[in-house]
Chains A and B, each alone.
Chain A
């Protein structure tokens, strides 16, 4: 299996506060990598480092490298817009724009300058299908994205992210605001998506990590304690702290 993304000796600071400590991690192509750990362990920060979303927060600082197909995305001269096109993101709270379902789905391609109507409709259909939402919304694409249920909104956000044809999809606790049925739908969807995309998911739900991921990393206080295949982590954790966490002794 090819490595799609990689962090090398990654240190990350908010002001004086160090949130990630020497994190080195390989994310395999077309696999689901899950980051687990208690609140405040730095897993969301790590995820946001992967598409440079932390650039927009003032006072942050990064040392080390983040490689996408072997190239450092933090190297001077790298176009951050290009990075985010290739590494898409789905957020914790479903955040569709206050626009129609159709406009949400084609937002990315539009921003990239695509104007051809036929092509845009095709993109909308393709990405809504990929996000398993098409059948539910195909008759009212003009309805506002905010009129959908929470789970549908999140799938709309996934569709929106897929529309720019990223290579990697980052998911920041994508189900934490959803009910169990919607959660299941998204988890099924992830299995479908991993045939084409490399997925990195942050979750504090360990069962979810065990269910959906191929690889899992346990982060504690900014440190990558353990990283292995998910079955390994959950059946034979090497580190005492990992074992304590997954057996529910803290967290």
Chain B
């Protein structure tokens, strides 16, 4: 076969792969939106679900639960996650201990979330008596997401050219000043992407919240009240009620939330990079 025809065949596979991926993604999103959007109205958004097997009511408490959980989890997660990433990238010596830590971080990042759920159930719900609550859910998610955030932060920092660090040190800046004023700003788009990735995981996570948040349909009032997120609500609607239309509506709301989060962060990070790079 001539190189030209080989290239043609390769292009067919590459284009075909791309087309299939896009088609599947668009198919799912469009299906959920088409089925779900008609269900969504103001009443649906501001009424709490009735809970139990009824499938009646809206999704207000699930929206509040999702945002509540998102805020609390990120608040607990960000400082240790980014801090550990900075430590591993900038300060940790390359020895057996740090290799072990890195290996552990990588392994943890691949553990299924329901395993973290069981751990959270045993530690936070049972031993520490936080019961089924937003706090238990958030702490479990922190355990689940720490490895991801640590890794993305470390990788973002490693892509900062060494020449930036050298230039800063050569002017008499200290190591910490260099990290704080040169390395971190340059790594910021990557670190923000990591945080957004985590935010997405918080919104979509279901299994490990099932066993740590309980799934009360009532409006959460404190850190220690139980609750459900949109994904959890969707799970209950689909598995325990016949309100399939409402499950689709919830799914549509979820998809819209994720699209909004992604668009917003893309926009922010592009603006930030443009400012830095001088477009």
Contact = CB atoms under 8 A, between A and B. Distances in A.
Contacts of B165: 56
Contacts of A81: 172-174
A82 B170 contact: no
Nearest to B186: A98
A107 B178 CA distance: 10
- Max chain B CB contacts within 10 Å: which of A98, A107, A112? A98
Interface stretch (B224-232, B259-267, B271-279): B271-279
Given A144-B275, A146-B277, A146-B278, A53 B172 contact: no
B167 interface: yes
B164 A111 contact: no
Nearest to A143: B278
A51 B166 CA distance: 11
Interface stretch (A17-25, A63-71, A88-96, A234-242): A88-96
Contact of B185 (A99, A112, A143): A99
B161 interface: yes
Given A84-B170, A145-B278, A161-B171, A95 B161 contact: yes
B126 interface: no
B168 interface: yes
9 contacts: A56-B165, A88-B171, A89-B166, A95-B163, A95-B166, A110-B181, A111-B171, A147-B278, A161-B170
Contacts, number: 79
A144 B172 contact: no
Interface in B191-214: none
Nearest to A111: B173
B96 to A, nearest CB: 16
A145 B164 CA distance: 13
A199 to B, nearest CB: 15
A30 interface: no
B277 A108 contact: no
B168 A107 contact: yes
Given A99-B276, A144-B278, A146-B276, A84 B185 contact: no
Contacts of A160: 167, 171
A155 interface: no
B218 interface: no
A97 interface: yes
B277 A147 contact: yes
Interface residues of B, number: 23
A166 to B, nearest CB: 9
A84 B166 CA distance: 11
B169 A84 contact: yes
- Max chain A CB contacts within 10 Å: which of B164, B169, B172, B177? B172
B182 interface: yes
A157 interface: yes
A72 B169 CA distance: 20
A107 B277 CA distance: 17
Contacts of A161: 170-171
Contacts of A108: 171-173
Interface of A: 51, 53, 56, 81-82, 84-85, 88-89, 91, 93, 95, 97-99, 107-108, 110-112, 143-147, 157, 160-161, 163-164
Nearest to A56: B169
5 cross-chain pairs, A with B, having the tightest CB-CB distances, nearest first: A144-B278, A147-B278, A85-B172, A95-B163, A98-B276
B184 to A, nearest CB: 12
A163 B174 CA distance: 16
B278 A112 contact: no
A91 B276 contact: no
Contacts of B278: 143-147
Nearest to A110: B181
Contacts of A93: 163
A9 B275 CA distance: 48
Contact of B164 (A56, A95, A112, A147): A95
A143 B275 CA distance: 8
Contacts of A88: 170-171
Given A88-B170, A97-B168, A98-B185, 4 more contacts: A95-B161, A95-B163, A111-B174, A145-B278
Nearest to B161: A95
Contacts of B185: 98-99
A114 B165 CA distance: 20
A135 B172 CA distance: 27
A107 B168 CA distance: 8
Contacts of A98: 185-186, 276-277
A82 B277 contact: no
Contact of B172 (A95, A111, A143, A146): A111
B89 to A, nearest CB: 14
